[in-house]
Amino acid sequence: MNGNKHLFIPGPTNVPEEVRRAMNVPMEDMRAPDFGPFVTDLLTDMKKAFRMENGRVFIFPSSGTGAWESAIQNTLTAGDKVLMSRFGQFSLLWVDMAERLGLTVELCDVEWGKGVPLEDYERILKADTKHEIKAVFATQNETATGVSSDVEGVRRALDAAGHPAMLFVDGVSSIASIPFEMEKWGVDLAVSGSQKGFMLPAGLGFLAASDKALAANASNAPKMTRCYFSFEDMIKLNDTGYFPYTPATQLLRGLRTALDMILADGMEAIWARHKFHAEGVRKAVAAWDGCELVARGPEWASDTVSAIYTPEGVDARDVISGAYTKYQTSLGTGLNKLMGKAFRIGHLGSLNPVMLCGAISAAEMALLDAGAKIEPGSGVAAAQEHYRTKSA
């Protein structure tokens, strides 16, 4: 193969060269006297990415799924009632985990292409006058369908009902990419992971916990059995900058560099850049005859990933395999019921317009090869026009 492969799946995302170099270091002593201050600073700076001053951030040697589990096990117990919604593969898997851990899920099933149903949430919360619902869950960015939900709106629904439930947010494919405000939105547990907006390899699960969530963990109310993901064990050692088990030292070194890059750019600039990048992809999709976003309207369209229906009669699997084998470009597959019907372009993390024009070009060629009757060059031209004339 000549040249590089091109990675446009919505995670793992492209790792910047600086971050890769920062991880290329010898193994180090995780009990060394200077390791503690390094970790303490890292945990403090992680709070800036989540936009919080109180509470704390946990870093688990897991993927995002481990942080999902930790959030539930440390603050809830089997039989607790929770409010969730399902509208794609990732929100579906979170519901599945909640049920397998024994929670009683009040479930809103939503058409794939839309997101968290705010009116239903508000109605259900208002009807729950005995406050049996202990937690409300929201998948901020459904990576399978390219749909973003209004987390601030979920907070408003809780407040409108005067409901004390904790607010859980899956921000794996949104935090450090699109607007997220832990404290302003009153989020209690926010889950993320290293391999999406944080521009690292997979292997770290991030979990931000508010003071309210930490108090729920410390309270006498019954909680699930937990061990590896226990807050208590983590807090005891994290307070001095150490871990209850061997930390992934190289990933932490990479995180230091990634976080330096993120904080130097500033969260607002990163959010604006993701919007600018996403808009170019959406312009391309609009130019492709017969293609459309899975998101059922601009208010749902995600700035980190676009899921795109292929034209009638064009199997999205052919587009994805053609893009990979012929053009060395990885596009995201259609998950679950979108299999064969849609492909995805991940546009989060370390990217720029020329890289995205490359992804759009590969998708366009693969669509043509798979039989789509689109105008050659139409998507690339539309994206170019956007990237030339607009800015972040």
Ligand X SMILES: *Cc1c(COP(=O)(O)O)cnc(C)c1O
Locate 59 and state its tokens: 């870093």
The region of 59-67, 151-159, 244-252, 369-377 touching ligand X under the rule CB under 6 A is 59-67
One residue of 170, 188, 303, 318 binding ligand X per CB under 6 A: 170
Locate 300 and state its tokens: 């749902």
One residue of 13, 73, 74, 139 binding ligand X per CB under 6 A: 139
| 81-86 and 104-109 beta bridge pairing | parallel
One residue of 55, 64, 254, 322 binding ligand X per CB under 6 A: 64
* Nearer CB in complex with ligand X: 12/379: 12
Least distance in angstroms from the C-beta of 139 to ligand X: 6
Q: Does 70 bind ligand X (CB under 6 A)?
A: no
* Nearer CB in complex with ligand X: 93/291: 93
* Nearer CB in complex with ligand X: 229/288: 229
* Nearer CB in complex with ligand X: 121/137: 137
One residue of 179, 186, 193, 346 binding ligand X per CB under 6 A: 193
* Nearer CB in complex with ligand X: 107/160: 107
Is residue 55 a contact partner of residue 210, using CB atoms and an 8 Å limit?
Answer: yes
Least distance in angstroms from the C-beta of 5 to ligand X: 20
Pick from 378, 353, 357, 356: which is nearest to 367 by CA? 378
Which residues contact residue 308 at a Cβ distance below 8 angstroms, ignoring those fewer than 6 apart?
146, 285, 291, 292, 293, 294, 342, 343, 344, 345, 363
Least distance in angstroms from the C-beta of 380 to ligand X: 27
Locate 215 and state its tokens: 């108090």
The region of 49-57, 74-82, 169-177, 245-253 touching ligand X under the rule CB under 6 A is 169-177
**What is the phi-psi region of residue 113: left when phi exceeds 0, alpha when psi lies from -120 to 50, beta otherwise?**
left
The residue whose two tokens read 């058409």 is 111
| 329-331 and 342-346 beta bridge pairing | unpaired
Question: What one-character-per-residue DSSP string does 87-103 give?
Answer: -SHHHHHHHHHHHHTT-
* Amino acid, res. 372: A
Q: Does 304 bind ligand X (CB under 6 A)?
A: no
Taking the alpha carbons of 117, 120, 122, 128 in that order, is the dihedral positive or negative? negative
One residue of 18, 20, 42, 63 binding ligand X per CB under 6 A: 63
Least distance in angstroms from the C-beta of 144 to ligand X: 8
Q: Does 141 bind ligand X (CB under 6 A)?
A: yes
Q: Which residues bind ligand X (CB under 6 A)?
A: 11, 63-65, 90, 139, 141, 143, 170, 172-173, 193, 202
